[in-house]
């Protein structure tokens, strides 16, 4: 492992201390002197707070001649804080080493600006690791829509409910607690009107003892029918977005414009299948319970695939046992 890789690894571990949700990515930065010693560390703590580079620079009195190792190309735009490229130039660093380019059209171009100011710039160090850490955020910004996880729980024979529509509960408590943890990693939880009318879910992210978690993603209901007046969702602590639409592309675009970068689609089968059929699911999260239900209520309905050559192959990225159940995470190839 080279020195830059070792230092980037530290910057990545600092990055992961920041929040995984919200409009901004997790970013870490270390400043090193000419001997390779780390003299300052910084990371981004969420929108409106100092960026990682500025956080690290604030911890040294003189940054002249130092090398900045940063997980994402320094930004080049003024948002709630100023451009990091300018902060690095003004601080007098002599070299900037970053991992992944910033795909945001408004923020990119930092590397060029640094080079134009005479600073040595190198990109691509531990790029695979950063791509993995920032996969949802990078995918969202590259597509200009939120990263979409579609979750469902099913019996071993692929049913999401019994013939009468009841589905609580197919999985056990460990799997259901895992769902709450996954909810808390999203900016929004998306459900169809059918699930709201059938189940009246509260869609809060709760801990083991039922307590509300600190971060509550906003619930979003997709479909033309209205959410009933007395529905539990009307008292969700994060509010409620009613779309009155079935146009998934338009809904995702609107959510992106509201600074939502990660959505967690919790069903039901009609809506989950619509996301899959439209190729708008970046990841599926499937909880499989060792039970058989049979009947018509499949977890995934028609995807418009009529011949096996058109089957949608996925790559499994996670496989865990939760009590009696299994959780599988898979991504589009």
Ligand X SMILES: NC(=O)c1ccc[n+]([C@@H]2O[C@H](COP(=O)([O-])OP(=O)(O)OC[C@H]3O[C@@H](n4cnc5c(N)ncnc54)[C@H](OP(=O)(O)O)[C@@H]3O)[C@@H](O)[C@H]2O)c1
Q: Residue 298: beta bridge partners? A: 159
Name 212's bridge partners: 206
Binding residue (CB under 6 A) for ligand X from 18, 146, 192, 217: 192
By CB under 6 A, residue 193 contacts ligand X: yes
Longest dimension (CA), the chain: 70
What is the Cα–Cα distance from 202 to 205, expressed in whole angstroms? 9
The Cα–Cα gap between 319 and 178 comes to: 13
223: contact with ligand X by CB under 6 A? yes
Give the interface size with ligand X as a residue count (CB under 6 A): 28
Q: How many whole angstroms separate alpha carbon 297 and alpha carbon 180?
A: 24
Q: Give me the phi and psi of 52, to 5 degrees please.
A: -55, -40
Q: Which is nearer to ligand X, 208 or 224 (CB)?
A: 224
CA 199/CA 234 separation, integer angstroms: 14
> Is residue 198 near ligand X by the rule CB under 6 A?
yes
Q: Does 194 bind ligand X (CB under 6 A)?
A: yes
- Binding status of residue 199 toward ligand X by CB under 6 A: yes
Place of tokens 């699930």: 195
Should residue 233 be labelled a site residue for ligand X when binding is judged by CB under 6 A?
no
Residue closer to ligand X, measured from CB, 219 or 223: 223
Pick the closer one to ligand X by CB: 45 or 246: 246
From CA 106, how far away is CA 76, in angstroms rounded?
8
Residue 164 vs 214, nearer CB to ligand X: 164
Site residues (CB under 6 A) for ligand X, limited to 255-274: 266-271, 274
Order the strands of the 120-122 sheet from edge to edge: 38-43, 28-32, 67-72, 95-100, 120-122
Q: How far is the CB of 223 from ligand X (least distance, A)?
A: 3
**Pattern 124-163, binding to ligand X, x per CB under 6 A?**
----------------------------xxx-----xx--
Give catalytic status of residue 53 as yes or no: yes
* Spacing of C-alpha 166 from chain mean position: 30
Active-site option among 5, 34, 41, 53: 53
Binding status of residue 68 toward ligand X by CB under 6 A:
no
Q: Does 225 engage in binding with ligand X (CB under 6 A)?
A: yes
CB burial of 68-97 (b: ≥16 within 10 Å; e: otherwise) equals: bbbbbbbbbbeeebebbbbbbbebebebbb
Q: Which range binds ligand X by CB under 6 A, 19-27, 115-123, 192-200, 308-316? A: 192-200
Task: List, by residue number, the catalytic residues.
Answer: 53
- Residues of the shown chain interacting with ligand X in the complex, contacts defined by CB under 6 A: 152-154, 160-161, 165, 167, 170, 191-195, 198-199, 222-225, 246, 248, 266-271, 274
């Amino acid at each position: 492992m080279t020195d830059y890789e070792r230092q980037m690894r530290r910057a990545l571990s600092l990055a992961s201390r920041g929040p995984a949700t919200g409009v901004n990515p997790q970013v870490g930065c270390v400043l090193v002197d000419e001997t390779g010693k780390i003299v300052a560390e910084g990371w981004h703590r969420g929108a409106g707070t100092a960026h990682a580079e500025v956080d690290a620079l604030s911890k040294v009195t003189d940054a002249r001649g130092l090398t900045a190792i940063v997980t994402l190309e320094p930004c080049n735009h003024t948002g709630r804080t100023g451009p990091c490229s300018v902060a690095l130039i003004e601080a007098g660093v002599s070299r900037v080493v970053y991992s992944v380019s910033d795909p945001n059209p408004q923020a990119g171009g930092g590397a060029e600006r640094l080079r134009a100011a005479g600073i040595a710039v190198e990109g691509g160090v531990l790029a695979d690791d950063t791509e993995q850490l920032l996969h949802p955020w990078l995918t969202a910004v590259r597509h200009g829509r939120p990263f979409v996880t579609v979750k469902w729980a099913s019996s071993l024979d692929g049913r999401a409910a019994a013939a009468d529509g009841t589905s609580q509960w197919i999985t056990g408590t460990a799997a259901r607690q895992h769902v709450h943890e996954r909810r808390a990693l999203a900016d929004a939880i998306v459900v169809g009107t059918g699930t709201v009318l059938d189940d009246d879910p509260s869609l809060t992210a709760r801990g083991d003892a039922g307590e509300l978690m600190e971060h509550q993603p906003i619930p979003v209901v997709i479909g033309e029918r209205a959410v009933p007046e007395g529905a539990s969702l009307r008292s969700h602590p994060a509010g409620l977005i009613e779309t009155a639409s079935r146009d998934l592309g338009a809904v995702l675009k609107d959510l992106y414009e509201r600074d939502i970068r990660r959505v967690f689609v919790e069903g039901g089968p009609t809506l989950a299948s619509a996301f899959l059929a439209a190729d708008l699911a970046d990841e599926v999260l499937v909880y499989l319970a060792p039970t058989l239900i049979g009947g018509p209520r499949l977890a995934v309905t028609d995807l418009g695939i009529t011949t096996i050559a058109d089957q949608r192959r996925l790559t499994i990225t996670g496989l865990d046992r939760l009590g009696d159940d299994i959780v599988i995470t898979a991504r589009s190839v």
